[in-house]
A = this chain, B = another copy of it.
């Protein structure tokens, strides 16, 4: 049995949904379907999720939202119409939308979560209707009915472990398709809470684990996961097979095809993942598999870069003789609720690398002030344009000379390395450059590994 998940662009319009349905019905193993909300039909279009956010904000602001409701509903009407589904047969979807403001929400965050979730919810209902009209036995399953329980914050929830027990006990017929909305679950108190944005991938992985699927097929809009960003490297090789942890390391540095958090349930259930293109389901796509028995094809599987970092450099003589010194720095950071990405230490030096998205100018100033006062370093420097490049590959594990093969093309380009971090991970090397140099470094390393 396979769990099949479709992304927003794969369900954005009638023709797109038709494509998806062809995929679903062409293989009886594809029994559990996870939907996203309809995405953009064309550049400049608005995703249904964004319309729902607008709707929620209008309600919170006490504004009239009827035009927004109609705009959302018409997206589903348009898709239904493509399959000959009468508007009258789906008018209850409008009623659901209209009744959303009457829900019982502990606060506006829960309201927002519930509104957003209905992009997926209505799409799943619509797809079940279409399939049934086509004579395919299909059932819409609300996460609540399946026992998909979540905890944590309403717009960034986590799966509760008891969900897996509930899913195991969920009964269904061998010939029916179950249509699950992605992206959300219910708290123990019965409120809707969503995963982080793009969270339909997570729902798919949870169902794949809960139902003990043989395969989790993740249909999206690319032929495969590529070994480098096609915007940086010309025609990068598609990755045929990679391991969970390779995916994880590449995700960290910007590979966003598959949702990072969705890896966990797949790993826990050891369910292989197949990322495929809805437009070209005949292509093999990329398999993401357990480490066990994996034989790497290349030394390097992929290279990624991410430019949203900043770093604090600190030098103080005899710093490593000061007991509890790192602890004091960590306490300063935690005082401002600040987490750091990496903290390479030298003998009397320390570099703290931050994700810029989690920073503000005031926090930077306060942290620097506190460190100046409490640590009294000889030298303190803020570096604002920090890029991290990850070179990832299971094949690097026992291969001698990888560092040379990374450093050689970078030096040939005249690029200076701000940071090298090898050895914390067995399957990756992390280097730092200026944001300006990052793309050139990626291209040079890629070419050196793959085009020599």
A contact set with B: CB distance below 8 Å: 244-245, 248-249, 252, 260-261, 263-264, 267, 313, 315, 317-318, 320, 323-324, 326-327, 330, 334, 339, 341-351, 390, 398, 400-401, 403-404, 406-408, 410-411, 414-426, 428-430, 432
CB of B344 within 8 A of CB of A424, answer yes
For A324, A419, A426, the residue with the greatest tally of chain B CB atoms inside 10 Å of its CB is A426
Contact A416 B404 (CB under 8 A): no
Q: With both chains docked as a complex, state the minimum distance between the C-beta of A196 and any C-beta of chain B, in angstroms.
A: 11
Is B346 a contact partner of A425 (Cβ separation < 8 A)? yes
CB <8 Å contact, B420 and A403: yes
From B248, B327, B390, B423, contact of A334 by CB (8 A): B327
Chain B residues whose C-beta falls within 8 Å of the C-beta of A411 in the assembled complex: 400-401, 403-404
CA distance A317 to B262 in the complex (A): 12
16 contacts between A and B (CB under 8 A): A248-B317, A261-B318, A326-B330, A342-B344, A343-B345, A346-B425, A347-B428, A400-B416, A417-B422, A419-B423, A419-B424, A420-B420, A420-B422, A420-B423, A420-B429, A421-B421
Write the nearest CB–CB distance from A201 to chain B, whole angstroms.
15
The distance from the CB of A260 to the nearest CB of chain B, in whole angstroms, is 8
A313 to B317, CA, bound (A): 28
Q: A330-B327, A339-B323 are in contact. Are A347 and B252 (CB under 8 A)?
A: yes
Instruction: Name the distance in Å between A164's Cβ and chain B's nearest Cβ.
Output: 17
Partner of A317, one of B264, B324, B430: B264
Q: Which B residues lie within 8 Å of A261 (CB)? A: 318
A255 to chain B, nearest CB (A): 12
B421 touches A346 (CB 8 A): yes
- A424 to B348 CA separation, bound complex (whole angstroms): 9
> Known interface pairs A346-B428, A421-B346, A423-B351. Does A324 touch B334 (Cβ–Cβ under 8 Å)?
yes
**Cβ–Cβ < 8 Å partners of A342 in chain B:** 344-345
**Cα-based distance from A420 to B326 in the complex (angstroms):** 20
Docked pose: A120 CA to B92 CA in angstroms: 96
Instruction: Please state if A404 and B400 are interface contacts (CB–CB under 8 Å).
Output: no
Closest Cβ of chain B: how far from A181's Cβ, in Å? Answer: 25
Contact of A349 among B313, B407, B426 (CB under 8 A): B426
Query: How far is A263 from B345 in the complex, measured between Cα atoms in Å?
Result: 20
Contact of A267 among B317, B334, B421 (CB under 8 A): B317
Contact A423 B415 (CB under 8 A): no
A318 touches B264 (CB 8 A): yes
Q: Known: A346-B428, A400-B411, A404-B411. Is A420-B417 also a contact (CB below 8 A)?
A: no
Q: Is the CB of A422 within 8 A of B419?
A: yes
How many angstroms between the C-alpha atoms of A430 and B403 in the bound complex?
Answer: 13
Q: What 4 additional pairs, Cβ within 8 angstroms, besides A315-B426, A351-B424?
A: A244-B317, A245-B348, A248-B347, A264-B317
Q: Which of A261, A313, A421, A423 has the most CB of B within 10 A?
A: A423
Q: Are B408 and A404 in contact (CB under 8 A)?
A: yes
Cβ contacts under 8 Å, A267 to chain B:
317
Q: How far apart are A188's CB and chain B's nearest CB, in angstroms?
A: 23
Residues of B near A404 (CB, < 8 A) are 404, 407-408, 410-411
- For the complex, give the distance between the alpha carbons of A344 and B411 in Å: 24
- B317, B421, B432: the one within 8 Å of A420 (CB): B421
- Chain B residues near A264: list those with CB within 8 A: 317-318
Q: How far is the CA of A416 from the CA of B318 in the complex (A)?
A: 30
Contact A418 to B425, CB < 8 A, known contacts A249-B346, A403-B403, A407-B403: no
Nearest chain B residue, comparing its CB with the CB of A418: B423
- What CA separation (Å) do A244 and B407 show in the bound complex? 29
B residues near A318, Cβ cutoff 8 Å: 248, 260-261, 264
Query: Which single residue of chain B is at the shortest CB-CB distance from A400?
Result: B416
Question: Which residue of chain B is the closest to A344 with respect to CB atoms?
Answer: B424
- CB within 8 Å for A417 and B430 given contacts A248-B347, A346-B424, A348-B425: no
Does B327 contact A423, Cβ atoms closer than 8 Å?
A: no
Residues of B within 8 Å of A252, CB to CB, are 320, 347
Contacts of A324 in B (CB 8 A): 334
Instruction: Answer whether A263 and B407 are a contact pair too, CB < 8 Å, given A343-B343, A416-B398, A420-B422.
Output: no
* B-chain residues with CB within 8 Å of residue A344 when the two chains form the complex: 342, 344, 421, 423-424
